Chain A
């Protein structure tokens, strides 16, 4: 794993340089907006990455809440299976909002099921909580970029920085505030129930993600139509560059999540060792077999 990190870091750096070159030089200039439209090559991939990270946070939080109870875990599994199968059927049987493609709705439903089972297979207990905090923090960073680059694009195109009352903009700001609250709760709460409380906040907070995404279909909004799976249209060359940018951003997000996850693992192990040391250090001395913080640290591979 130690060797994989520099390889991935190098690959990500190259991918980001290539994506920037494609976005700034290769992609054609928009006939109406001019060069300022190129902001979408950072804005849109950041939004998709933030949604994906919040989605993983949601799945990890649900797992964390239900996995301690066998019957709740079983009910959740069946519900997720029902969402996957039912979503596919509904996407092709019932009429969808104008511009929404059935294949996109069905793929989303299947992705929910697949991600739920993959996370359940590879993560359990505290590791689920660590995954949740990692994805929330990195997701907030990407969501911040969305909220900063959006107004910078809007100023020359719309003539205003922000459209007050616009559902897409407001719901994105609310989403950001929810996850900032989640991180503040985790940072400053000393309760033994903090992890459960945070997981509950995450589950309710994630309900805002579909509202943000589908707001374009269900409400009148100034925000442009979606470029994939919706009613918007885009030059294939622009779409190609957009997908390259997203891949580069995904690699970068994965790299940062990896770092953050490792940091969280270490932080918890150091905290455990500190507690152990403060509990037993005075009474038995640091050389006592069970109370020696070195024993705990060596066991954890630090």
Chain B
């Protein structure tokens, strides 16, 4: 059974999902920081 590729596919999928989520969190955080600095300027 050539199953090793499925094993690696699962591990890659898991970490891709986690990295995408953490990336989206960082992106939203940066946008919020931008809003905050704009508010502080006013």
Whether A156 and B14, one on each chain, are in contact in the complex, defined by CB atoms closer than 8 angstroms, is: no
Given contacts A263-B25, A270-B32, A273-B39, contact A36 B6 (CB under 8 A): yes
Whether A148 and B32, one on each chain, are in contact in the complex, defined by CB atoms closer than 8 angstroms, is: no
A281 within 8 A of B: yes
The number of chain B residues touching the other chain, given as a range, is 20 to 34
Within 8 A of B (CB), among A33-49: 33-36, 38-39, 42-43, 46
| A267 to B39 CA separation, bound complex (whole angstroms) | 13
B residues in contact with A293, CB < 8 Å: 39-40, 42
Whether A38 and B7, one on each chain, are in contact in the complex, defined by CB atoms closer than 8 angstroms, is: yes
Within 8 A of A (CB), among B6-23: 6-7, 9-11, 13-14, 17-18, 21-22
Which single member of B3, B9, B18, B29 contacts A141 (CB below 8 Å)? B18
Given contacts A34-B1, A153-B6, contact A145 B13 (CB under 8 A): yes
How many inter-chain residue pairs (CB < 8 Å) link A and B? 85
Whether B35 and A152, one on each chain, are in contact in the complex, defined by CB atoms closer than 8 angstroms, is: no
Q: How many positions in chain A have a CB within 8 Å of any CB in the partner chain?
A: 37
User: A153-172 vs B: 1/0 string, CB under 8 Å?
Assistant: 10110000000000000000
Whether A35 and B7, one on each chain, are in contact in the complex, defined by CB atoms closer than 8 angstroms, is: yes
Whether B6 and A152, one on each chain, are in contact in the complex, defined by CB atoms closer than 8 angstroms, is: yes
Whether A297 and B40, one on each chain, are in contact in the complex, defined by CB atoms closer than 8 angstroms, is: yes
A residues in contact with B9, CB < 8 Å: 152
A residues in contact with B7, CB < 8 Å: 35-36, 38-39
A233 within 8 A of B: no
A129 within 8 A of B: no
A239 within 8 A of B: no
A77 within 8 A of B: no
A residues in contact with B32, CB < 8 Å: 263, 266-267, 270
A residues in contact with B29, CB < 8 Å: 259, 263, 266
Within 8 A of B (CB), among A268-298: 270, 273-274, 277, 281, 286, 293-294, 297
Whether B42 and A286, one on each chain, are in contact in the complex, defined by CB atoms closer than 8 angstroms, is: yes
Given contacts A39-B10, A149-B14, A256-B22, contact A277 B42 (CB under 8 A): yes
Which single member of B6, B10, B28, B35 contacts A42 (CB below 8 Å)? B10
19 additional A-B residue pairs with CB within 8 Å, beyond A39-B6, A260-B25, A273-B39:
A33-B3, A39-B7, A39-B10, A39-B11, A145-B17, A148-B10, A149-B14, A152-B13, A156-B3, A263-B25, A263-B32, A266-B32, A267-B32, A270-B32, A270-B35, A277-B39, A281-B42, A297-B40, A302-B36
14 interchain pairs, CB-CB under 8 A: A20-B11, A33-B3, A36-B3, A145-B13, A145-B18, A156-B1, A156-B3, A156-B6, A252-B18, A256-B21, A259-B22, A267-B28, A270-B36, A293-B40
